[in-house]
Amino acid sequence: MAVSIPVLAVIVSLHLIAFVLAIGAERRRSTATVVPDKYDERTFCVYGSDASSVYGLAAFGLLLISQTVIHGVTRCLCFGKGLVTGSSAATCAIFLFVFSWLCFLGAEACLLAGSAKNAYHTKYRGVFQVEDISCATLRKGVFAAGAALTLLSLLASILYYWAHSRADTGGWEKHKNEGIGLTPSDYPQEQQPPAGEFGKV
């Protein structure tokens, strides 16, 4: 199986868009301030924009589509004709397969958990004038970790696709007999007339 430029373009594009969205989610994390209630002696949290949750979920979806494309093309290393046994490319493809999945799952976990935590809004936090009251917000760095793992997932996916294309037996079986000429035994043999029929007209 040869490396397909359109497939690579789709994978790179989806990963890079997911990376940009994850960075945007990190920068647009929801903030909150403690505000006293006008009608009683309690305080409540006023939150800012929830754009980070939208960005994080969009990055989650794009990364999922990209992973589906790459493993759909390579048949997830589990189906098809398999890899050439005993080759370094096959060993490399298996390692990169596992590594790409680890990076993908880590990125998806960060993006999903960050989106859910960012969308969580605490209401009342305590009695008015109580010190050290804080509102629940997403800690810094969750979406950034998802963005970093997205880049690692991109690198691992490209290398996995390349290694798989080198070790795929489908391509090897297609070309393994090229350049071998026909042997004399492959040519059709002329039939000899039965003995005694040479003199017949």
DSSP strand E in the chain: where?
32-36, 42-47, 124-127
Helix axes 51-73, 88-119, angle to 10 degrees: 160
- How remote is the C-alpha of 32 from its chain's centroid? 33
* DSSP secondary structure string for all residues of 9-37: HHHHHHHHHHHHHHHHHHHT---EEEEE-
Q: What is the pLDDT along the chain (201 residues), one digit of tens a residue?
A: 577 889 999 999 999 999 999 999 999 888 887 777 777 667 777 788 788 999 999 999 999 999 999 988 887 666 555 565 556 767 888 899 999 999 999 999 999 999 998 888 766 555 445 555 567 788 889 999 999 999 999 999 999 998 888 876 544 444 444 444 445 555 555 555 555 555 554
Please state the φ and ψ torsions of residue 166, each to the nearest 5 degrees.
-75, -30
pTM check: above 0.75: no
